Amino acid sequence: MLDRFAPATIVINLPAEAKLMIDDVVTTSQTGTRLFSTPALETGKEFYYTVKGELLRDGRTVTTSERVKVQAGQQTRVTLEFPAVSVAQR
């Protein structure tokens, strides 16, 4: 008999120095690849999490985010890409 509930895993790749938030909750890990396990989710249904990265570049805070679809018992991989900071030309 299959379990009706199981956690999902999100694997997030981003710069090690970036701050990572999942649904607006700051995580504490500081590596380039971070793992997040969800609470037990009902199998057969789709759930969504928002992963957001924040990075200081050239004295400016740069952010990027992605809405991630997960399912119970499955692993989802996400790479957060940060836009380059450009200085306005005069």
Task: Give the tens place of pLDDT for each residue, 33-83.
Answer: 999 999 999 999 999 999 999 999 888 999 999 999 999 999 999 999 998
The whole-number pLDDT of residue 21 equals: 98
Residue 1 has pLDDT above 50, yes or no: no
Q: What is the pTM of this model?
A: 0.87
Please report, for residues 3, 6, 84, 87, 89, the alpha-carbon distance to residue 68 in angstroms, rounded to integers and kept in the order given: 23, 17, 23, 31, 36
**All structural domains of the chain with their residue ranges:** 5-79
Per-residue confidence band for 86, with pLDDT thresholds at 50, 70 and 90: low
Chain centre to alpha carbon of residue 1: 32
